[in-house]
């Protein structure tokens, strides 16, 4: 506990190079099964030395904003583990009122989207804000401004207007819905007898949670999930934080969702756009990669332990995310003399 607090203190203070402790094990509760098989997490690596390559977005804030001057910042946020702390019961992963106020404030000044593994409705229910865009199911269910978007083969992608005719809903995995519902039902039945296991239907993907499953039951759970998936070759299985995630094997992830949203905002081809993406999970790496490829923007990972990541910056936990978002809004407020988002970018909020 002492070491964790010291790490947090050092992190917050920006003591990245001259730290007084060196042999600290990451405080993460990541067990081997919590990680994706291909995720390399160095248990022995030192958080401080890791931060040399992934400096705190708080201590780097002034430097980042100096580069951002005159550019168009677009904010992308993951939900679980980023805006809300990780908790045992996924239905109770509420965000704090302070976090909600910070996101609301940020969205006043920058186009802001939440890209989550949850269903779009569920994440919107948690966030309860109207001035942001929501992408659920790891980006496979996007509510975006009504601007037609072309895919790489030149065809217009399938979109439909929402009930008010304002925003468009883009759902590239529509045709998989019946199969997903079947999978979800089969999983429910199969895991019923495993204490602590739970299935969460996220509309275009399904989560099987094992945070509260006993160690000795994990193998059985995994086998059950895999044996169901054998009958669904169009689906793939990934691991998140104590969760197995089943989703259609289509080439669409949070990175594509980020690009899609930039396109619909009319910013896809702008050279002066700076996407800021904050996320804590393996699926967020897809968005980090896109930002790295664009060559502009700030991929920020939320983590309390060293991890292999494409992010350039880090934040320790949702509390630091809150501080970062508040500073971002304050920075814009002071530098734009309180101009609102529509005045700044000409986009509707």
Applying CB under 6 A, the residues found at the interface with ligand L263DTV3 are 78-81, 86-88, 90, 93, 116-118, 200, 202, 207, 209, 211, 240-243, 245, 281, 283
Taking the C-alpha atoms of residue 44 and residue 260, their distance in angstroms, rounded to an integer, is: 38
Q: Cα(181)–Cα(198) distance, rounded to whole angstroms?
A: 15
Edge-first strand order for the sheet with 243-248 is 198-201, 206-209, 243-248, 235-240
Least CB distance to ligand L263DTV3 at residue 281 (A): 5
Nearest to ligand L263DTV3 of 54, 209 (CB atom)? 209
CA triple 256-262-268, angle to 5 deg: 100
Nearer to ligand L263DTV3, 201 or 349 (CB): 201
Least distance (Å) between residue 146 CB and ligand L263DTV3: 25
Tokens of 141: 């269910």
Q: How far is the CB of 232 from ligand L263DTV3 (least distance, A)?
A: 18
Residue 243 or 258: the one with the smaller Cβ distance to ligand L263DTV3 is: 243
Which residue's CB is nearer to ligand L263DTV3, number 19 or number 281? 281
Min CB(316)–ligand L263DTV3 separation in Å: 17
Burial of 302 (0-12, 13-18, 19+ CB in 10 A): buried
- Report how far Cα 323 is from the mean position of its chain's Cα atoms: 17
Nearer to ligand L263DTV3, 72 or 203 (CB): 203
Residue 84 CB, nearest distance to ligand L263DTV3 (Å)?
6
Q: Are strands 243-248 and 206-209 parallel, antiparallel or unpaired?
A: antiparallel
Nearest residue relative to ligand L263DTV3 (C-beta): 117
C-beta closer to ligand L263DTV3: residue 240 or 306 = 240
Least Å distance, CB 165 to ligand L263DTV3, is: 28
By beta-carbon proximity to ligand L263DTV3, the closer residue of 24 and 115 is 115
Write down the least CB distance from residue 214 to ligand L263DTV3, Å: 15
Pick from 101, 163, 155, 166: nearest CA to 128? 101
Strands of the chain, DSSP E: 72-77, 112-115, 133-136, 141-144, 159-161, 168-170, 198-201, 206-209, 235-240, 243-248, 273-279, 298-302, 313-315
Residue ranges in 40-149 assigned as alpha helix (H):
47-53, 61-68, 97-109, 120-127
């Amino acid at each position: 506990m002492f070491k964790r607090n010291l790490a947090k203190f050092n992190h917050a203070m920006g003591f990245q190079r001259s730290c007084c402790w060196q042999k600290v094990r990451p405080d993460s509760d990541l067990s081997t099964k919590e990680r994706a098989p291909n995720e390399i997490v160095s248990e022995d690596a030192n958080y401080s030395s890791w931060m040399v390559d992934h400096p705190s977005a708080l201590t780097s804030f002034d430097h980042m904003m100096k580069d951002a001057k005159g550019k168009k910042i677009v904010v992308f946020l993951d939900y679980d583990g980023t805006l809300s702390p990780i908790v045992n019961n996924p239905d109770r992963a509420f965000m704090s009122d302070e976090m909600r106020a910070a996101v609301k404030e940020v969205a006043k000044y920058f186009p802001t989207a939440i890209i989550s593994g949850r269903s779009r409705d569920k994440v919107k229910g948690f966030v309860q804000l109207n001035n942001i865009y929501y992408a659920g199911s790891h980006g496979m269910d996007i509510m975006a401004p009504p601007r037609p978007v072309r895919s790489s083969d030149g065809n217009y992608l399938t979109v439909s207007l929402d009930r008010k005719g304002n925003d468009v809903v883009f759902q590239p995995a529509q045709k998989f819905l019946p199969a997903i519902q079947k999978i979800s039902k089969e999983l429910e039945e199969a895991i019923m007898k495993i204490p602590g296991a739970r299935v969460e239907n996220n509309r275009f993907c399904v989560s099987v949670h094992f945070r509260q499953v006993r160690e000795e039951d994990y193998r059985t759970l995994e086998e059950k999930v895999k044996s169901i998936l054998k009958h669904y070759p169009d689906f793939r299985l990934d691991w998140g934080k104590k969760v197995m995630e089943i989703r259609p094997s289509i080439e669409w992830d949070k990175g594509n969702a980020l690009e899609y949203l930039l396109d619909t905002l009319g910013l896809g081809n702008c050279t002066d756009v700076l996407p800021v993406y904050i996320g804590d999970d393996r699926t967020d790496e897809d968005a980090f990669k896109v930002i790295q490829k664009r060559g502009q923007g700030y991929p920020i990972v939320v983590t309390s332990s060293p991890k292999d990541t494409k992010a350039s910056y880090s934040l320790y936990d949702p509390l630091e995310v809150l501080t970062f978002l508040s500073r971002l809004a304050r920075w814009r407020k002071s530098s734009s003399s309180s101009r609102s988002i529509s005045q700044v970018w000409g986009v509707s909020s």
